[in-house]
Amino acid sequence: MDFFAQQDLARRSTRRLVILFALSVVVLITALNVVVYHATSYDRDLMANRAALHLGVSIIVLSAIAIGSAVKTAQLSAGGAVVAEMMGARPLNDRAAQPAERVLLNVVEEMS
């Protein structure tokens, strides 16, 4: 296994995921604005303020995504133990009663 090749692959994958995330945000905002457009097409009062309404919808969606991203980033910045717990991991006892846990501890000790 070539570490530097894996690191380059991870960077490309991260870049691709960021682009896909941005694209999904744009698609979500566009879809919601299309729904708002059709929902307000029968009301003349709302049609007059349609630009402000679309801007408001876009700001609300972007704010919700930004807040959600900030909360998740704050949670993940607490470290690997928190991430492991989010994935359902649990601490292992050094005196593990189960053979599978003992094998796992032995592998981790050998790797470190």
Residue 97 confidence class, pLDDT cut points 50, 70, 90: low
What total number of domains does the chain contain?
Answer: 2
Domain that holds residue 102: 80-112
- Report the C-alpha gap between 52 and 43 in whole angstroms: 15
Q: Is the pLDDT of residue 1 over 70?
A: no
- Report the C-alpha gap between 71 and 65 in whole angstroms: 10
Average pLDDT (26-52) is: 88
Q: Are residues 92 and 73 in the same domain?
A: no
Q: Are residues 92 and 66 in the same domain?
A: no
Q: Look up residue 68 and give its two tokens.
A: 């959600």
Q: Are residues 88 and 34 in the same domain?
A: no
* Mean of pLDDT over the chain: 88
Q: Are residues 90 and 49 in the same domain?
A: no
pLDDT over 70 for what percent of the chain?
97
Q: Are residues 86 and 37 in the same domain?
A: no
Residue 22 confidence class, pLDDT cut points 50, 70, 90: very high
